[in-house]
Structure 1
Amino acid sequence: MFGIFDTPHPDPNPLPLTNSPWPIFTILAIYLIFVMKVGRVYMKNREPYDLRTVLQFYNLGQVAYNGIFFGVTFYYLIIRRICNLGCMESFPLDHEHKNLERYLHFAYFINKLIDLLDTVFFVLRKSNKQISFLHVYHHVMVSAVCYLIMRFYGTGGHLNIVGMVNSLVHTVMYFYYFLSAFLPGFKAKIWWKKYITIIQLVQFVVIALYTLFVMLIQKDCHIPNILLLMQVIQSTLMLYMFGKFYLETYVTYGARVQKVD
């Protein structure tokens, strides 16, 4: 099974955590074991931890991280146009912007690993209702895919535009989380909570359509179709699951509340 990882690395200078599958697989295995079993057993007879201060710093850090990533990526991809937006292939090794591409991809990858702390905090606060299949699947899949793309295709390319869109969404999302932790009394008054889910849904539609455009229209583009197809499938799956969450949370539940009122 793991023989596939014996294939030559596309980058002769792989970044930390990317030269072997063991670091990412170990991190994700520990994550799953903790959030699905060990953490819950540990917290069973304990009071929820008060992580308000920790969450304030964490969420503010995420806002800064994602905001900076979006700004840098937007500048180089959209303003400077260092690559063809219609076909964002991984730069050749001797390209003048290859290191920039490497570091952007790696920064996004590290951010996805940091995102795993979301679930850890849920466990420690005993917010088990928030640890849904959608939540766990999303975190694991994004982290794993980031690594697999670096390992078998190379850094950057199509993923950087996906990362740019995703980082913008996460900037807004973590700003909401920051306000919720910083001003808990105002949590119910932050009227735009449901619009974060709408933004996420729009994100998946945009990414899926953009990827289909590259795959079906840009015939001369040499991004492997398997990667593009995986992106379309993943975006469609996330659109379905987030859409289901939106309907259950804001449409069906809202209708029930109105009936009770």
Structure 2
Amino acid sequence: MHASNSSLFNMFELWRADPWTTEVYLLNSPWPVTCLCTAYLLFIYKIGPEFMKHRKPYNLRNIILIYNICQMIYNGSIFLMAFYYLLIDGTYDITCMHTLSLDHPKKSIERWITYIFFMNKIFDLLDTIFFVLRKSYKQITVLHVYHHAMMVYFMYWVTRLYGAGGQYAVMGLCNTTVHFLMYFYYFNAGLRPKMKMNLWWKKYITIAQIVQFMIYLVQSIVVLVFNPTCQFPLFMQWQQIFQSTLMIFLFGNFYYHAYIKPKQKTE
């Protein structure tokens, strides 16, 4: 029994779509990313609030301004790389975006763009840490936490079991666009806090979030219906449909309660 369990564990450890994942930090094993996501959840729901219970909110204005600038540069850089290889260079067949073969001349580029995008999703977790340290607990919603934790854990398993890039390159392109706009808004709001309420375009960032998930949803449906011979894994197509639908619902619900319902009450 012990030998059998050991054999299964070894098989699982060897189950990789791309041997490159054994060579890079946080992709070589599921344990670091699992521990990271667990620590994130424990901190924001238990350890952090307990630590802040008898403390005043920290003034993190300057730190957050720097963080927002870094995020704009980070997301903007990934966007430019993804835009070039996806829409200009023609690295992928848009009708069926499968991960590049291991011997493809641009495989290393695909791998490292995927990796820096994955690391950016970990960097994003600081958003929630800042909320806790500032005691902005109302911003720690189910949508916020699920979206952040899911992106980290989802990205790990996709890269580990499927490989880099492929159909998810569209996600990277859209996600970095939205995040650049989002952190640009946060930077302006933090730089001029008295004018925060006058930044009328805040709600359009939420609309952009919804639109990006609509793009993912349509992408999978179009491939399934019009290109059934595409070798992108069927399970992952349905997973993309499920996650996209769920996120459209969650962001749509947030938009309704944040922007439509309050307006209805004042009419």
Corresponding residue number in structure 1 for 2:180: 171
Alpha-carbon distance in structure 2 between the residues aligned to 1:129 and 1:178 = 20
TM-score, normalisation: structure 2: 0.94
Unaligned runs of 5+ in 1: none
Q: Which amino acid aligns with 1:159?
A: Y
CA distances 1:219-239 after superposition (whole Å, capped 9, x unpaired): 221110111111110010000
Give the alignment of 1:24-173 within 5 angstroms.
24-173=33-182
Match of 2:18 among 11, 21, 24: 11
When normalised by structure 1's length, the TM-score is: 0.96
Name the CA distance, whole Å, in 2 between partners of 1:16 and 1:69: 19
**Residue number among 224, 230, 238 corresponding to 2:233 in the alignment:** 224
Q: Indicate whether 1:195 and 2:204 are aligned.
A: yes
Query: What are the Cα deviations for residues 74-112 of structure 1, in whole angstroms up to 9, with x where unaligned?
Result: 011101111101111111110001000000110110010
Structure 1 residues 217-226 or 28-37, which shifts more?
A: 217-226
1:104–1:160 contact (8 Å) kept in structure 2: no
Q: What is the RMSD computed on CA atoms of the aligned residues?
A: 1.4
Given the alignment of the two structures, is residue 240 of structure 1 paired with residue 249 of structure 2, yes or no?
Answer: yes
Aligned residues of 1:112 and 1:139 also touching (Cα < 8 A): yes
1:152 Cα offset (Å)? 0.6
1:104-124, CA deviations, whole angstroms, 9 ceiling, x for partnerless residues?
110110010000000000000
What residue identity is the alignment partner of 1:10? A
1:228-251: per-residue Cα shift (whole Å, max 9, x none)? 111110010000010001001101
Instruction: Name the CA distance, whole Å, in 1 between partners of 2:64 and 2:13.
Output: 40
Residue identity matched to 1:13? W
Q: Which amino acid aligns with 2:97?
A: M
In 1: Cα distance, 2:226 partner to 2:65 partner? 45
Percent of pairs with identical residues = 43
Deviations 1:135-192 (A, max 9, x none): 1011111111100011111111111111111110111011001111111111011011
Tell me if structure 2 keeps the 8 A contact 1:17–1:24.
Answer: yes
Q: What does the per-residue CA deviation read over 1:23-59, in whole Å, with 9 as the maximum and x for residues that have no partner?
A: 1001101100000100000001100000000010001
Q: Is the 8 A contact 1:86 1:214 kept in 2?
A: yes
* Number of residue pairs matched by the alignment: 258
The residue identity in structure 1 corresponding to 2:16 is H
C-alpha contact 1:5 1:21 (8 A) present in aligned 2: no
One-letter amino acid of the counterpart of residue 69, structure 1: I
Q: Please tell me the residue identity of whatever aligns with 2:20.
A: N
Could you tell me how far apart the structure 2 residues matched to 1:39 and 1:90 are? 39
CA distance in 1: counterparts of 2:12 and 2:258, whole angstroms: 42
Matched, 1:184 2:208: no
In structure 1, C-alpha distance between the alignment counterparts of 2:176 and 2:12, rounded to whole Å: 29
